[in-house]
A and B are shown apart, each in its own frame.
Chain A
Amino acid sequence: MIQFDWFSRLRNRWGKWVIIAPAAVVVLAVIFIVCFNLAFPRTRCEAVKHLEAPEIAGDCYGCHVKATPKAAQDWYESKHGVQLVKCFVCHGQPDGKGEVVFALNPDVGICRKCHDSSVTNMVNNYGLEPNCVSCHPFHQNSIHHRAYVKPVAKKTID
């Protein structure tokens, strides 16, 4: 009964919190989901899987604002979001039709459509692999997130 031992050891150490803490997490999660659904009454997201609702599959943001809210909100606040470079321009669409391959990490060829000079610079000047995502994880850093609200850079006066 190794599992039991493990549980009782925890129980001895933390007492009733072993049950209360996970329960609290579950309750908070439920509250969060309920609040979230109340906050986006107009958002439709009936489908669980991508191809279950083909008629709304093109509205990536509509579902992902619920399904992966952090990614969706980061995009919304990013330069790509402000300029409406929509999800499918880089990530393709679930049905795989069209020229852009459906992918979590877009091929560098997609980045090159707009950022060719930057990619070439990185390769030529810094000897880097042409792989943008390794240093610029999308939706997580200043390049894609809150791009127009950058902190003012410190300036030194010589």
Chain B
Amino acid sequence: MEITRREFLKMSAAGAALMAIGCPVAAWAAKGEGEPDRWVKGVCRYCGTGCGVMVGVKGGKVVTVKGDPKNHNAGFLCLKGALMTSVIYAKERITQPLIRKNGKLTPASWDEALNLVASKFKEAIAQHGPKSVAYYGSGQALTEETYLASKIFKAGLKCNNVDGNPRLCMASAVGGYVTTFGKDEPMGSYDDIDNASCFFIIGSNTSECHPILFRRIAARKEANPATKIIVVDPRVTNTTRIADIHISFIPGTDLALLNSMAYVIIKEEMDNPRFHGAYCAFMDKEGKPQTFEDYKKFLEDYAPEKAEKITGIPAKTIKEVAKIFAQSSATMSMWCMGINQRIQGVWANNLIHNLHLLTGQIGRPGATTFSLTGQPNACGGVRDAGGLSHMLPAGRLIANKEHRNQMEKLWGLPEDSLNPEPGLPTIALFEALKEGKIKAMLILCTNPAQSLPDVNRYREAMARKDKFICLIEVFQDAETVQFADVVLAPAFWCERDGVYGCSERRYALIEKAIEPPGQCRPSVNILVDLAKRMGVDPKLVPYNNAADIWDEWRAVAKPTVYNFWGITRERLRKESGLKWPCPSEDHPGTNIRYVRGEDPLVPPDHPTKYFFYGRPDGKAVIWFRPYVGCAEGPDSEYSFVLTTGRVLDQWHTSTMTGKVPEIQRSYPKAFVEINDKDAKKLGIQTGDHVQLETRRDKMVFEARVGEVCRPGLVFVPWFDPKLLINKLTINAVDPISKQPEFKICAVKVSKAAKA
């Protein structure tokens, strides 16, 4: 379609000019807004790319934003980031605490609201024990907020029910990194993009979800046109516009593709035996040590001809892609929710790492295996600071006695006083709420009433009369507000200071630019106040501001591989973000981990160049991960696959982007994307109403017919609060990471009458 359109236009250039003359073109004069008084450094509030922004303030008000030229984005911002200003001054801002009285949220004083929350939590713990309360956090909260909340609950209340929405977005990536390399977080950085000569992008619509990274990939291709870009996605997204090869496949079969690529790499002797011989261990799915020969035997099932039958990808293409991947001078893999939001998310992550370890495409500039993150502080805040139910700060585990003891010492607690039993991960947590086992829950900076899978089920849980939900939320029209018993009013984005950590291990400071409106308070102040009222030992929360918490967190991470002691508040104010490990104040930050001379944690006299110190034997693991399908594949009754995702304009549950008039105009509502051929069979045209029905619920969407989705697949974006697609999605989770499979469920598609 694109090609025909382009060629057609070229041929009719004269006609086009004629048309243009016929159209009224008025020259509107652009009004200058006047220069801001000052620029305050920050980080974009939206995605995990973590672009640096400069906030332009005039007379105590934000008037504009621009990109921070010193940060990794080199001054560029995407559509959303460039239109941040309207969000801050939205009329839907909550500016004072609210308490639900007779079913209605009514304004209350801070004292009244906080005392009510504290009494409900104390009552629940006194009657039902610490397991009956919970904290549900967010990859959008500041690092200081997550660290503090996690400490209050785990150390103060002895409750490990501390989880957050990163469980829905990157838990599988964590699982992948931890099982393969021993420690979480990617070894590379965005700088690798400028050095890669092959990009293997799988399960990511980088163009719409991480636009500034897409810009950088395109710039790399522009600088070096020989750069190969491979996009593996069942949809022909905008990302494919710069791709050399786009591979579509039957949704859920990518594990077979990845194993098949490994088969081809070994079969055609494109592997790097000196690398995997020295730095890799082989393990079967039970974790038993195996050999390279066993691995070859395991891969026999994935010869390209066999994989073709599973995936629908021609064997020739699999061979070609494997060849480009293995033989490029530096290959960078990037993936996102297409890989993570799956019941075999961890395995799929492992299989991508396998390809890099087999070929030695790792630990050189441009050669790396890089997970993209959805939220601005899922990495820095939740993953690193330990805001998940099985974790303690800096990669420590609750189940590990030694780790608990370290934290008890650092937090000044008596030995063996931390609760040794891991808490409930997100889906289990909301199941417990449904069963009435969770009596009181604190939700910070996230919108589970829209973002959970099979959301009817959990909206029911949140609507229980006998539960108590305290929500710290910026906007009164967020879905979850309907279910809150108390809503507390936090300061938003640049109204307080704090640190965000993006996909590339970069910590950057959002500085305070303006005063919060009304009675809004920074969430750290709310949490400290609440903790004291809940009877938590004041010695555990001796903080005056976020900077105090940052210093404690630096000290807590110092003895671990997360060491970022050198990233002081002072440096963060001066510099536009720093990448850990960064053990001392004169350290410039680390681009490539696990490599001698690059990573400060590899001793300078280490006998070999690479050292995967995260694992006891210093070797990364090549896992035998067989192909397993999805939880709910299509069948004769529900014959289509439903997948969900983002669009460029809107972000997450659109509580923020929904406040930007330009964006609301350009992308007001969700739609269903359907393939031409399927649409023809069903008699559906663009603009028609289409009913989607899964085993959970049904809903009507407007159709957008085209060639984006492959036949048999339909796509619906999940931002629209009026069309909650998550009512239709499935709550099946990955057995290792506990991340739900948002990306695949079976759906019945039929034409509906126009309303």
* A and B assemble together: yes
Of all chain A residues, the one with the shortest Cβ separation from B706 is A42
State which of B67, B83, B218, B665 has its C-beta within 8 Å of the C-beta of A79. B218
Set of chain A residues within 8 Å of B9, measured between Cβ atoms? 69-70, 73
Q: Knowing A39-B8, A95-B665, A117-B75 are in contact, say whether A71-B218 is a contact too (CB < 8 A).
A: no
A70 CA to B665 CA, complexed, in Å: 23
A82-B218, A93-B662, A107-B31 known; A32 and B18 CB under 8 Å? yes
Q: How far is the CA of A112 from the CA of B82 in the complex (A)?
A: 10
Q: Chain B contacts of A16 at CB under 8 A?
A: none
- Could you mark each residue 207-231 of chain B with 1 if its beta carbon is under 8 Å from any beta carbon of chain A, else 0? 1100100110010011000000000
Answer whether residue A99 sits at the interface, using C-beta atoms and an 8 A cutoff. Answer: yes
Q: Is the CB of B77 within 8 A of A150?
A: no
Contact status A58-B218, CB under 8 Å:
no
- B4-24 interface with A by 8 A CB criterion: 4-6, 8-9, 12-13, 15-20, 23
Complex contacts, A105 vs chain B, CB 8 Å: 27-30
Contact between A28 and B30, CB atoms less than 8 A apart: no
Are the C-beta atoms of A107 and B23 separated by less than 8 Å? no
Residue pair A82, B27 in contact (C-beta under 8 Å)? no
A86 adjacent to B666 (CB under 8 Å): yes
State A64–B205 Cα separation when bound (angstroms). Answer: 26
Closest residue on chain B to residue A111 by CB atoms = B66
Contacts of A57 in B (CB 8 A): 665
List residues of chain B with CB within 8 A of the CB of A36: 12, 15, 19
Are the C-beta atoms of A116 and B66 separated by less than 8 Å? yes
Q: Are A113 and B67 in contact (CB under 8 A)?
A: yes
B30:A107 contact, CB within 8 angstroms? yes
In the bound complex, do residue A85 and residue B667 qualify as a contact, i.e. CB atoms below 8 Å apart?
no
Give the residue of B211, B648, B662 whose beta carbon is less than 8 angstroms from that of A58: B662
Known A32-B15, A103-B28, A148-B222: A39·B665 in contact at CB below 8 Å: no
A-B contact count (CB 8 A): 160
Contacts of B25 in A (CB 8 A): 68, 104
Residues from chain B with a CB closer than 8 A to the CB of A84 are: 78-79, 207-208, 211, 238, 648
| CB-based contact B665/A148 at 8 Å | no
User: What B residues does A108 contact at CB under 8 A?
Assistant: 32
Chain B residues within an 8 Å CB radius of A113: 64-67, 77, 82
**Given the complex of chains A and B, what is the CA–CA distance between A29 and B22 in angstroms?**
11
Does B26 count as interface, using CB distance less than 8 angstroms? yes
Which residues does chain B contribute within 8 Å of A128, judged by CB atoms?
none
Contact A59 B666 (CB under 8 A): yes
Within 8 A of A (CB), among B53-75: 64-67, 69, 74-75
Interface residues on A, range: 35 or more
Tell me if A100 counts as interface (CB < 8 A to partner B).
yes
> How near does chain A come to B490, taking the closest CB pair, in angstroms?
23
**B side interface size, CB within 8 A:** 63
Q: A110 vs B30: C-alpha distance in the bound complex, in angstroms?
A: 10
Contact B30 A116 (CB under 8 A): no
Question: Does the CB pair A58–B667 fall under 8 Å?
Answer: yes
Known: A39-B8, A70-B13. A109 touches B65 (CB 8 A): no
Report the minimum CB–CB distance from B678 to chain A (whole Å).
Answer: 16
Instruction: State the Cβ distance, B90 to closest chain A Cβ, in Å.
Output: 12
Q: Mostly helix, strand, loop or mixed at chain A's interface?
A: helix
Using A42-B705, A71-B20, A85-B78 as known contacts, say yes or no to A92 and B13 having CB atoms under 8 A apart.
no
Nearest-Cβ distance from residue A120 to partner chain B, whole angstroms:
9
Q: Are B211 and A83 in contact (CB under 8 A)?
A: yes
- Does B267 make an interface contact (CB < 8 A)? no
Q: Mark B635-667, 1 if CB is under 8 A from A, else 0.
A: 000000000000011000000000011101111
B86's partner among A28, A99, A117 (CB-CB below 8 A) is A99
Q: Is B525 an interface residue (CB 8 A)?
A: no
- Find out whether the CB atom of B30 lies under 8 angstroms from the CB atom of A103: yes
Which A residues are in CB contact (< 8 Å) with B572?
Answer: none
A114 contact set on B, CB distance < 8 A? 66-67, 75-77, 82
Interface flags for A139-152 (1: CB within 8 Å of B; 0: not) read: 00000000110100
Tell me which residues across on chain A come within 8 A of B129, comparing CB atoms. none
Q: How far is the CA of A98 from the CA of B87 in the complex (A)?
A: 10
Q: Is A67 an interface residue (CB 8 A)?
A: yes
CB-CB under 8 A for A35 and B12, given A98-B83, A115-B75, A116-B66: yes
Q: Verify B661–A32 contact, CB threshold 8 A.
A: no
B277 close to chain A: CB less than 8 A: no
Q: How far is the CA of A32 from the CA of B11 in the complex (A)?
A: 11
A4-47: which have CB < 8 Å to B? 25, 28-29, 32-33, 35-36, 39-40, 42, 44
Closest CB in chain A relative to B220 CB, distance in Å: 11
Query: How many whole Å from B224's CB to the nearest CB in chain A?
Result: 12
The 5 closest A-B pairs by CB, nearest first: A58-B665, A98-B661, A32-B15, A103-B30, A58-B666
- Given contacts A58-B667, A67-B19, A70-B9, 11 further A-B pairs with CB under 8 A are A58-B668, A60-B666, A69-B19, A93-B662, A98-B660, A105-B29, A105-B30, A108-B32, A116-B67, A147-B222, A148-B222
Q: List 19 A-B contacts (CB under 8 A).
A: A28-B15, A42-B705, A58-B664, A69-B9, A69-B20, A73-B6, A73-B9, A83-B78, A89-B79, A89-B662, A93-B665, A97-B662, A99-B662, A101-B31, A104-B28, A114-B82, A116-B67, A117-B74, A150-B222
Write the residues of chain B forming the contact surface with A, with a CB cutoff of 8 angstroms: 4-6, 8-9, 12-13, 15-20, 23, 25-33, 64-67, 69, 74-79, 82-83, 85-86, 207-208, 211, 214-215, 218, 221-222, 238, 241-242, 648-649, 660-662, 664-668, 686-687, 705-706
A interface with B by C-beta (< 8 Å): 25, 28-29, 32-33, 35-36, 39-40, 42, 44, 55, 57-60, 67-71, 73, 77, 79, 82-86, 88-89, 92-93, 95, 97-110, 112-117, 147-148, 150
